[in-house]
Every structure is written in C-alpha cells, then in structure tokens.
A = this chain, B = another copy of it.
C-alpha cells in the first residue's frame, strides 16, 4: 500500500511538473515571445501535451489506482485514508479515467478544429459577421457532444463538460442556483438603473501613467501578502495568473493610462488568484492536490479581493491617500467617497469583461443558458445571435447593434470551452458567501482594512481555504467554511447592502 502511494505520488508529480512546463510555455507566449515564434510554440505545446497524455493514461497509473482501492467508474475510493490521501487517489482516478476514455484521434481533431475555429472567430469578430463563424461553432458543438458521450454523464451532456472546470458539480445544481438568482438580480439591476443618483467617474479616465500604476499595484500586492520571491508581475494583452512551479506563481495585467480601473483592478484580481496558489500547505506540495479545487472557487478568491475587498470603502480609506500621492493631478479635488462611488458605478453594458460587479453575473447566466441549450440541441447555431440579443434585451435592457459587441465577443466557444462560463458567476457567489463567514470571524475587519492591514484577510483565507488545495471539492469546502452549500442569497444580500449605500436606494 505504501509503495503504491509512493508510486502514485511519483507519477502524479511528473505529470504536475509537465503541466508547469506547459504553463511556462504559455506564460512566455503571452509576455515575452518574439512575434515570429508562434508556430514554434504551438509545436512545443503539442509535444508536451502528447507526452502529458501518455503519462496521464499510463496503464501503470491505472493499476496503482485500482490497487489503492479506486473504482475507476464510480471514482469511489475504498480504504482507510487521510482526507489528503483519499483526495489524491480520487482526483488522480478522475483525471486518469477521463483521459483514457478519449481516443487520441478525438483529441487531435479537437485541437485542429478549435485552432481553425479560433482563427475564424477572430476574423468574424473583426468583420462583425457571425455567419463566418457559425459553421465552425456547429462543428465544435458536434465534437463536444461526441466528447461528452465518450466521457459519460448522468443527467445531461453538459455535466460531462462542466466537470473540466467545476469538478464534481452537476448542471442541475447550477440551474437551481441561477434560476433562483436571475430574477432577483434583474430586479436589483432595475432598481439601480432607475435610481436618481448619478455618479461622476470622469476622473478615472485620464492621466494615469502606466509605470506609476505598476508601482501602486506592487504596493497593494505587497499589502495583500503576494510574494515577489515566489512570483512576478508582468504585462499581457489579457490579465492572467499561472502556476509555473510550487514557488513560481506569476500574474499579469494590462495598463491603460486613460482608464484607471483596467490595470489596478486587474492586479488585485490576479493577485487574489495568485495568493490561492501560493497558499497550499506543505502536506500537498508536489502533488496534484496543489491546485485550486475548482475554477469557481479560484474565481471566488480573485473576486473576493478585487470586488469585495478592493472596491470596499475601508480599503480605499487606507489606499486612497497613497493613490493620490501617485496621481495628484487626475485626483485633484476628488474625495475618498467620490472615488469609492466611482469605482463602483453600475451600468448595464454589452461587453462582459467591462461589466461592473452587479451586472457581471447576468452576462454569465445568459451565456450559461444559451450554451446549455446549444449543446442539448434546443437551440440551433443559426438562431443563436437572435437568442443572444433577446436575452440581453430582456435581462439587461440593452441590445447589441452588431455581432461583434454581441455573440462574437468571447473567445471561449471557439476554443471548445463549453462549461467554462458559469464558473465566473459561481466565483461571485462563493466569494460573497465566504466573505460573510470571514466578516464574522475576523475581529474588527473593517477597522483592519481601514488601516491597510490586508494581511488579516489573507491569514483567514489561508487557514480556511488556501492550504487545502484540492483536498476538498468545491461543495465540501464551501460547507466546511461557511456551514452550508452554495447559496446565492449571500451574494444578493452583499449587493443590496453595498449598493443601497452607493446609490442611495
């Protein structure tokens, strides 16, 4: 048994190291790679992915898992194990059994078709013409259905795909949560939209030197407890966090001197992701448990820092004077309260990545409902743009004028990523629920934040969430931390109490 456990760790460790190598290839591609080397990089990734696939589907791994008591169908684990060891066996079994179900030919076909589809999507978005992309989306949906059928599912195909992003969660759970929540959110957005309060945020859009933004961002990261000994901050077209080693968690952002929000909130958001990855315990170091337990939980960490903390009044009480020292010009005459309101302005808009904290989740629910229908065949690709526009009209009160600012805005579907979107909204919901507990347990939280003492937040998150990595799945973790499973009421309550104040509702 001990030998098998050792073997499992060794095989898993090699897989993890290869994933980190792949992460470095990816990081470099988004930051420093010479323009001409894009084909080199694609082939290098393909070599690593091929090796990874053969390591993950290594029959020796299957044998070790069975010998350790894993049922490769139900993914149940028999035996007397610690939580960590059981999770290690279970999570490895999950990855192994998924991968052995997918023939190499399908994986290669998917890689090829998504690569073509992404290029077509770029072109279609540029020309704002969905018809250029639609046949490819059709093909991708076909492939995803094929994949789902090979992977197997209980209720519906979407389950099989969702599992890549939100392991162990079922579609019906999301449906239940979102359907409960969508109506409430809509009413709340309507209340804000019809509020008479008008917020001036014009001072956020001029005169923010990029280098100074970076220096200010580094100051915030240091206060958050992000480690530059074990990490870096670079620039990329789209902000991201990537784990290149157990002591190598890098984040990126982008700066816009004419939009303060882009750079700094990008930094705080990615810093939140980074702190999760930096906080795994020694016990799971070097194993595949040293990963965020789901994308929803990961997103809860970034959004808790970006929105719940980073757009809070006490946070800016501490940091606004420092910010003003960096940018005396654009912030001349602006009060902390004005600034706080400005970074919390709510306005239904067409583009997801620019959405505020309140309307953001609505963009996600719309996408989730549409992609689920597409996969199930309830909605045809041809009808997608109309359906999209109708949903935006109904739930956000605005309609795209063209495909580029509508159905073509996101890359996900062109990459075959069906099941990814809901994790963004789950992140918001988990964040609010976790924050509710955090607030009860951390003494004088607001006063601490007002002092810029963000460390109290990190300490609590480390103790209750980060250190576990993937030992507990999202649902187990949520219950362990907050005492109940995911409940969107926490998010609604959070929004109401915050925005009542911001908008004098």
Q: A39 near B232 (CB under 8 angstroms)? A: no
Residues of the B chain whose Cβ atoms lie less than 8 Å from the Cβ of A310: none
Q: Which of B24, B40, B51 contacts A25 (CB 8 A)?
A: B24
Q: Which of B34, B51, B234, B244 contacts A40 (CB 8 A)?
A: B244
Residues of the B chain whose Cβ atoms lie less than 8 Å from the Cβ of A37: 230, 244-245, 247-248
Is residue A215 contacting chain B, with contact meaning CB distance below 8 A?
A: no
Is residue A41 contacting chain B, with contact meaning CB distance below 8 A?
A: yes
Chain A residues within 8 Å of chain B by Cβ, number: 35
**CB under 8 Å from chain B, chain A span 6-46:** 14, 17-18, 20-21, 24-25, 28, 32-37, 39-41, 43-44
Is residue A327 contacting chain B, with contact meaning CB distance below 8 A?
A: no
Smallest CB separation, A16 vs chain B (Å): 10
Is residue A229 contacting chain B, with contact meaning CB distance below 8 A?
A: yes
Is residue A228 contacting chain B, with contact meaning CB distance below 8 A?
A: yes
Residues of the B chain whose Cβ atoms lie less than 8 Å from the Cβ of A28: 24, 28
Q: A247 near B36 (CB under 8 angstroms)? A: yes
Chain B minimum-CB-distance residue to A33: B248
How many copies make up the complex? 2
CA distance A5 to B445 in the complex (A): 69
Q: A230 near B17 (CB under 8 angstroms)? A: no
Q: A25 near B34 (CB under 8 angstroms)? A: no
Smallest CB separation, A13 vs chain B (Å): 8
Residues of the B chain whose Cβ atoms lie less than 8 Å from the Cβ of A18: 47
> Residues 238-260 of chain A: 1 if any B CB is under 8 Å from the residue's CB, otherwise 0?
00000011111010000000000
Is residue A48 contacting chain B, with contact meaning CB distance below 8 A?
A: yes
Residues of the B chain whose Cβ atoms lie less than 8 Å from the Cβ of A246: 40
Residues of the B chain whose Cβ atoms lie less than 8 Å from the Cβ of A21: 21, 25, 44, 47-48
Is residue A231 contacting chain B, with contact meaning CB distance below 8 A?
A: yes
Residues of the B chain whose Cβ atoms lie less than 8 Å from the Cβ of A35: 229
Chain B minimum-CB-distance residue to A14: B47
Q: B34 near A229 (CB under 8 angstroms)? A: yes
CA distance A143 to B88 in the complex (A): 40
Is residue A475 contacting chain B, with contact meaning CB distance below 8 A?
A: no
> Residues 146-166 of chain A: 1 if any B CB is under 8 Å from the residue's CB, otherwise 0?
000000000000000000000
> Residues 214-232 of chain A: 1 if any B CB is under 8 Å from the residue's CB, otherwise 0?
0000000000000111111
Residues of the B chain whose Cβ atoms lie less than 8 Å from the Cβ of A43: 17
Q: A41 near B229 (CB under 8 angstroms)? A: no
CA distance A246 to B48 in the complex (A): 17
10 closest A-B pairs by beta carbon, nearest first, are A40-B245, A37-B248, A36-B247, A36-B230, A36-B229, A37-B245, A17-B47, A37-B247, A35-B229, A40-B248
Sample (29) of A-B pairs whose CB atoms are under 8 Å apart: A14-B47, A17-B43, A18-B47, A20-B40, A20-B44, A21-B25, A21-B44, A21-B47, A24-B24, A24-B25, A28-B28, A32-B32, A32-B232, A32-B234, A34-B227, A34-B232, A34-B247, A34-B250, A36-B230, A36-B248, A37-B244, A37-B247, A39-B247, A40-B245, A40-B246, A40-B247, A41-B245, A41-B248, A51-B51
A-B contacts besides A14-B47, A34-B232, A36-B229, 9 pairs, CB < 8 Å: A17-B43, A20-B40, A21-B21, A21-B25, A21-B47, A35-B229, A36-B248, A39-B245, A44-B245
Give A contacts to B, CB under 8 Å: 14, 17-18, 20-21, 24-25, 28, 32-37, 39-41, 43-44, 47-48, 51, 227-232, 234, 244-248, 250
